[in-house]
Amino acid sequence: MHGTYHPQRSACLYSFALAAFLVQCVNAAEETTRIRTWTWTAWYNTDKPTSGEQDDERVNSIRRRGWQICGGYSPINAECRDVDNHTLTFDALSSDLVADILDEPCTTAGILCRDSDQRKPRKCANYAIRFECLSVPDSSPPTNIGVIGIAAGLSVGVRVI
């Protein structure tokens, strides 16, 4: 059963007889409803500290190397790890868990470790990063699906959150 969405009330209005229904609210002005989901990318490890004097896994550097991140949009979150220690993942708030001094501490801009910032003879670890991206499919079923229990010839307004 479909209800009618009333944007000024932020509610769906349903009219039905005695029964239990699985209902979907459909906005008459908007035929398709877009569902926003957030997904994590694969781990990027496009630079290695042995290839220069740093490990540069920043978004701009990764994109310059030909990788697409978040469909060209800005990431909403980031998570990093030492490639040799897969059990330890960290973000900007927990980047003090790593032994290296980081120029960029695992943010949505990326991670950067320079050998010149480390105490000699220490060199940067090899870091990998992944990003959380907003994904909006072209069309999908309505997001505001609910179950309405037994009702007897009533009109019911259901607030859409």
Residues 135, 149: Cα–Cα separation, whole Å: 33
Q: Does 13 share its domain with 92?
A: no
Sheet holding 145-151, edge to edge: 145-151, 19-26, 2-6, 11-16, 154-159
Indicate whether 159 pLDDT > 70.
no
- Per-residue burial over 22-54, b if 16 or more Cβ lie within 10 Å, else e, is ebbbbbeeeeebeeeeeeebebbbbbebeeeeb
Per-residue pLDDT of 72-87, as tens digits, reads 889 999 999 999 887 7
Into how many domains does the chain fold?
Answer: 2
Q: Does 42 share its domain with 95?
A: yes
Q: Does 41 share its domain with 15?
A: no
Q: Does 31 share its domain with 98?
A: no
Q: Does 122 share its domain with 143?
A: no
Indicate whether 161 pLDDT > 70.
no
For residue 95, the enclosing domain spans 37-135
> What average pLDDT is seen over the chain?
74
Q: Does 68 share its domain with 16?
A: no
Q: Which of 22-26, 32-36, 47-51, 151-155 has the lowest mean pLDDT?
A: 151-155
Q: Does 80 share its domain with 50?
A: yes
Q: Does 30 share its domain with 41?
A: no
Pairing assessment for the beta strands 19-26 and 145-151 based on DSSP bridges: antiparallel
Per-residue pLDDT of 2-11, as tens digits, reads 455 545 555 5
Q: Does 130 share its domain with 143?
A: no
